Amino acid sequence: MDPVVDDRSATRVGPGALLVAAPGLLDPNFRRTVVYLIEHRERGSLGVVLNRPSEVALHDVLPGWAPLSSRPPSVFVGGPVDGKTALCLAALRTGHRADGTPGLVAVNGPVALVDLDGDPEALAPRVRGLRVFAGYAGWDAGQLAGEVGRGDWFVVPALPDDVLAGQGPNLWSRVLRRQGVPLAPSAGRVCRSSPRTPPARRHRTS
């Protein structure tokens, strides 16, 4: 599958990229969201919303992992698909790699997926923070390319700390502002037009 390129940022769509909702994307599932892409393949793409904390404390559902969580120590809403599925992303400490480490799957650079059935104490020395998400955002083959081409998303590079930031709606403006021109001015733009009509099955259900 040829990589999708956003002409405004020249960032390739792929694991480790951020999808930042354009001001005109008013779908309530994704308005002013920042999505971290975990998987991007010919069959489709998968990511998690980084800036929607829930009111559920991680300690209440996964107490063993709570000490490793970044603040706020909440379960985040990862997207509208399968809210009973938990995904966990961690940022590794300098000098540690996910490859070959039980319980970790490399995503991009120091960011890795964590197997929540594993032993948190075994991973604690390697991890400088983690975030647990309930649900995810998913796209079937070609869907994400169409949305990027329509201008629903800005595609920008992620920083490892973005996964741990937990800044709620402030993360959206922060990520845009650090891009400089032409994306930075979008951080102060408020769109009051009607929401764009999403295509059928915008988000994967399986």
Full domain range(s) for residue 162: 5-179
135 found inside a domain: yes
195 found inside a domain: no
Q: What is the pTM of this model?
A: 0.85
109 found inside a domain: yes
189 found inside a domain: no
> Above 70 in pLDDT, residue 72?
yes
pLDDT tier at 178, thresholds 50, 70, 90: confident
Chain segment 149-158, per-residue pLDDT in tens: 999 999 999 9
66 found inside a domain: yes
206 found inside a domain: no
The total number of structural domains in the chain stands at 1
Mean confidence (pLDDT) of the chain: 86
User: What phi and psi values does residue 202 have, to the nearest 5 degrees?
Assistant: -55, -35
Chain segment 12-26, per-residue pLDDT in tens: 899 999 999 999 999
Chain segment 116-150, per-residue pLDDT in tens: 999 999 999 999 999 999 999 999 999 999 999 99
What is the domain-level CATH number for residue 29?
A: 3.40.1740.10
186 found inside a domain: no
Distance separating alpha carbons of residues 148 and 7, to the nearest angstrom: 10
Distance separating alpha carbons of residues 154 and 21, to the nearest angstrom: 6
